[in-house]
Structure 1
Amino acid sequence: MRIITKYILKKYLLNFIIVLISLELFFVGIDFLQNFKELPQSANLQLLYVLYNAFFTLTLALPLSIVFGWIVTLVIFIKNNELVAFHAVGATSKNIYSSVVKVSLFLITLLIFLQATPLAYSYEEKRKILKGEYFTNSKTDIFLKYNEYYVYFKKLLPLEKKAEDIHIFKVDDKDIVQSIIAKNAYFQNNRWYVVDAKIINKPKDIDINTTKLDVRYEKFLHTLEGFKPKILDNVYETKSNFSILDAVSALILLNNQGINTDKIRAALYNQVIVSFFVIPILLLVFAYASLNSRFFNVGKFTSASIFGTLVIWGIFFMLFKFTNGGVLLPEVSILLPMIIWVSISLVLYKRKINS
């Protein structure tokens, strides 16, 4: 690694960390003060609330900190005439910003990896603590389709991986041919085990005088293979998030059932793709920075850069909310704007650099 690269990274990472910690403390602190009276008296739950909120805030603060840290670093370089010095010793523009872009890509990838873990449910967990539901998580009256089966859960307990009062109906050409009734079912070995199931089969050929229902009992009956309790929980929670792994599993399963997956695709695109919107901003901020501090308006440059970053972030955030509410298709509201944004940024960057 070149000395100049080490120097730039050292300055940038220091500013990035300062900005990230500042944003985290601000958002988490404000939220804690606003909700302090509604939090449980337990110190452990209050600490968990702060930790969950810190990670949830990280998904917002980290992309912004990447840009804000770069803005601060550039302003310092320009005011100290360091950018001129970098070019004087033979460094190109690419040599200056490439290391920062690579580190930013690594940080965003790390954030995506964390969202593939249970930490992705931080917002949901902190909301449960706030509402006093942290230890009583359950869903009621869930009705879903799985292949040729229609399944009804009177009560679902995702944390315990348990369901109560189960009714499963097998449908063949719009006709119910089998029904399974049980009090409990448990999720183990990637499938649901129905305990003490009562199975009622309807004969294919019905005769009023001789035909009767076939009733039998099974100690264990497995069904809904791969349908995780957390997926069931989130599919029926309109404001819930998904981890990336659960989102992929839910997408595959629900797509096979012909069920609308707009919400899941939107969550997946938002977690995996949208965070990369900051990379074009890094290039544009560098392109529109000045080498000469004498004719450089620091206030105007900083204000425009921060305001532009917040506007772009706000647009993607708004589009995600629209998509999550079922207003727009995720491919139209997230993927297409992202492609347009990257294309426009590259055009503006090349035009500015070449001029």
Structure 2
Amino acid sequence: MFRYVAWVYLKYFFIIAFALSFLFAGLDYLQNAGKLDGFNIKVLYLFYKGSYALDLLFPLTLVFAMIVTKILLIRSNALLSFYALGYSKKQVLFPFIAVSSLLTLLYIGMHFTSFVDADLSAKNLLHGKKGSEIKRNLFVKYNDTFVYIGRLVPEKRAAEDIRIYRIDRGEVRQIVYGERALFDGRKWIVKEATILRKPTPKGLGGEGYSVEKKPEITTLEGFKPKILTSVFEGKRYYTIQAAWDAMKLLMSQGLETLKVRNLFYQMVVTPFFAIFLVVIFFLSIPPYARSANLLWLSFVLTGTTLFVWGLLYFLFRIGRSGVILPELGTVLIVSLLGLAALYSFLFKTNRL
């Protein structure tokens, strides 16, 4: 029973996922095909848009596939056969929970990769931009230091024209100049560094400014280039790891983390609403075809799924502008769905 139900569910999941992603990408391609030059660029654009559509519609597909699968099991009398053979509702529901949970974890895991940048990559192709972005004239604060970077290439972990101002008690005590700097994964290595130190205390006849030149120095430990550009330029695309690092960086600087938390919850918490809806809807659909109008019921459940997904996406969008706390939006809604799924599982699985 488990293998049969899991296979049918997986089959319809892949069919629906491909259909929705292809429709989304195809409609977008028809609107923008004239702006794309070259066959390879068009194929890449379709691929990136299809990946973005899959990212957007993946949770919906899990729920739609469950609805289709259960309706099929009812119409073919397979569901009644399982119950007649002694399988309980919990046992028949288990393949749906197992498969949807596994796919959801896979979906979340994909957000540790550059999969999240698919929409940005498509836009870059559309506007003729190169994949490797260069940031210019960044000025940011990090701990007791202000950093100016004339030119930053995050993909190469390199910076040019870097200046580091160390502050103590409201005054600049040291300035480090460097034409080039590299990030080794933990800290920055400034090449051909010039260090200017300000005397303390200042006074007539005292020590003056000192200038020291070194082949290289290490500084700014933990100041990651991708997090740097993401956080301080308001980037909308993060991996889960990058979002987590960004939150730690912002908290360490005493800065607001609301927007990054909102995106982090969108990638880690929101996908679980699909599993909860799978449980609730499965236990809401009667096992007998004559007990309800299955066509009407599937229409209502599909509409409810779209409404919940739309509500969560709406809360995510307004959360990006800081209008609402993500804990009172996305996290609250998903938690309520989780409680509703738990209630359904505890009180509806013991009766047909």
Same fold by TM-score greater than 0.5: yes
CA displacement at 1:228 relative to structure 2: 2.3
Closer/same/farther in 2, CA of residues 103 and 353 from structure 1, 3 Å limit? closer
Distance, in Å, in 1 between the alignment partners of 2:96 and 2:348 is 20
Indicate conservation of the 8 Å contact 1:124/1:240, yes or no: no
Other-structure match for 1:11: 8
Please, which of 34, 37, 40 is the counterpart of residue 37 of structure 1? 34
Distance, in Å, in 2 between the alignment partners of 1:239 and 1:199 is 32
> Do residues 264 (structure 1) and 256 (structure 2) align?
no
Distance, in Å, in 2 between the alignment partners of 1:195 and 1:184 is 6
> Do residues 20 (structure 1) and 17 (structure 2) align?
yes
> Do residues 314 (structure 1) and 315 (structure 2) align?
no
What SS class does the counterpart of residue 289 from structure 2 fall into? Answer: coil
> Do residues 126 (structure 1) and 122 (structure 2) align?
yes
* TM-score in terms of structure 1 length: 0.92
Aligned CA RMSD, in angstroms, stands at 2.0
CA displacement at 1:350 relative to structure 2: 5.0
Indicate conservation of the 8 Å contact 2:121/2:131, yes or no: no
> Do residues 62 (structure 1) and 71 (structure 2) align?
no
Matches within 5 A, 1:338-353: 338-347=334-343, 350=346
Distance, in Å, in 2 between the alignment partners of 1:139 and 1:233 is 7
Q: What letter matches 2:29 in structure 1?
A: F
Q: Among all aligned residue pairs of Structure 1 and Structure 2, give the percentage whose two residues are the same amino acid.
A: 32
> Do residues 282 (structure 1) and 278 (structure 2) align?
yes
Other-structure match for 2:236: 240
Deviations 1:138-188 (A, max 9, x none): 222222221211111122222232222222110111111111122222222
* TM-score in terms of structure 2 length: 0.93
Other-structure match for 2:210: 214
Other-structure match for 2:321: 325
Indicate conservation of the 8 Å contact 1:56/1:123, yes or no: yes
- Which stretch of structure 1 is more off in the superposition, 330-339 or 281-290? 330-339
CA displacement at 1:354 relative to structure 2: 6.4
Distance, in Å, in 2 between the alignment partners of 1:318 and 1:187 is 38
Q: What letter matches 2:84 in structure 1?
A: A
CA displacement at 1:349 relative to structure 2: 5.5
| Number of matched pairs | 351
What SS class does the counterpart of residue 290 from structure 1 fall into? Answer: coil
Q: Which runs of 5+ in 2 are unaligned?
A: none
Distance, in Å, in 2 between the alignment partners of 1:137 and 1:186 is 16
- Which stretch of structure 1 is more off in the superposition, 171-180 or 140-149? 140-149
Distance, in Å, in 2 between the alignment partners of 1:100 and 1:6 is 11
Indicate conservation of the 8 Å contact 2:187/2:220, yes or no: yes
> Do residues 154 (structure 1) and 150 (structure 2) align?
yes
Q: What letter matches 2:11 in structure 1?
A: L
Closer/same/farther in 2, CA of residues 135 and 71 from structure 1, 3 Å limit? closer
- Which stretch of structure 1 is more off in the superposition, 305-314 or 4-13? 4-13
Distance, in Å, in 2 between the alignment partners of 1:68 and 1:206 is 72
Distance, in Å, in 1 between the alignment partners of 2:71 and 2:65 is 10
- Which stretch of structure 1 is more off in the superposition, 222-231 or 296-305? 222-231
Indicate conservation of the 8 Å contact 2:150/2:162, yes or no: yes
Q: Which runs of 5+ in 1 are unaligned?
A: none
Distance, in Å, in 1 between the alignment partners of 2:106 and 2:248 is 24
Deviations 1:299-346 (A, max 9, x none): 211111111111111111111112222222222222222212222343
Distance, in Å, in 1 between the alignment partners of 2:195 and 2:70 is 71
